[in-house]
Structures are given as C-alpha cells and as structure tokens.
Amino acid sequence: MEKHEESRYVKRTQKDYTMSFKLQVVQEIEQGRISTYEVCRKYGIQSRSTIVGWLRKFGNFDWENQTPSNMPKSPEQKIMELEAKVRLLEKQKTFLEQQAFVADKKAIIFDMMIDIAEKEYQIDIRKNSSPEQSTTLKNNKNKQ
C-alpha cells in the first residue's frame, strides 16, 4: 500500500502572514536557498503571486528597471525607495502600537482578575516583598 499525504487546503489572506515571516521568505529566496515554488509548498502559501508581491515590496531587486538594487540609482529612485520604506515603517509602527495597546489592556484585566481572586478566596497571590526583603528573610532563616 502507498502512503498518501492528506492535502489540507487552507484559504489564507495577507493578514495571516506576519511581517517577519514575509521578510524571512524574501531573504531565503534572495539568498538562493529556495525557489518561489518551493516556498509555496514548504509554507503552504496558496499562490506564487503572493510571494512575488512580497519580493516586489521587500526585496532587493528593482522590478521597474529589472536591475539588481546594488546598481547605482538616480536621486529620484532613491527618494521613491526611501518613501516606500517610510510607508512600510509607519505601517509596522502602527501595528506595534496596536499590539502594545492590547497588551496593556490585557495586563490591566489580568491585574483585576488577581485582585478579585485575592478578595474572593482571601489569599495573597502577589508577592508584596521587595528583593532586599526576601534576601533578608532568607538570611534570617539560615541563622535560625
């Protein structure tokens, strides 16, 4: 009997891929470690055009002039490239700010849950002693 791999089709959207993942894929391709088709199979990316889009946005190839980016560029090209980088960094900043906001809210809710649990069950969940106090307590216990 032959073993058949189950093909799992999962429809994905661009939002499913993190920025770091996209940059990692682009780097792997540009370093020649893997082809775009192999990336599709390896990571379950639906379409090669998705990867080509990432290469156009984040890669080191000048797609408009079909030249490697290490070729001398005109000042206009450099400005356009820097503007694109600024837009990308602004998007990343906004995303990270949203993550920080959510993390802060989670921390507040977590604190509230601990407060409720301490009150409800009348137990101390948080340690109230500072590091100096705990060292002093250990030293006192060792002396006894």
Q: Give the model confidence (pLDDT) of 34-56 as tens digits.
A: 888 898 899 888 888 888 888 88
pLDDT above 60 (res 8): no
80-124 pLDDT, tens digit per residue, is 888 888 998 999 999 999 999 999 999 999 999 999 999 999 988
| Gyration radius of the chain over CA positions | 26
For residue 61, give the H/E element and its range. strand 61-62
Task: Quickly tell me which residue has 């601990």 as its tokens.
Answer: 114
Q: Do the Cβ atoms of 36 and 62 come closer than 8 Å? A: no
Q: Tell me, yes or no, if the pTM score tops 0.75.
A: no
Residues sharing a CB contact under 8 Å with residue 42, sequence separation 6 or more, in sequence order? 34
d(CA 113, CA 111): 5
From the list 88, 79, 87, the residue with the least C-alpha distance to 23 is 88
Instruction: Kindly state the tokens that stand for 79.
Output: 């400005």
Q: Do the Cβ atoms of 67 and 60 come closer than 8 Å? A: no
Q: How confident is the model at residue 138 (pLDDT cuts 50, 70, 90)?
A: low
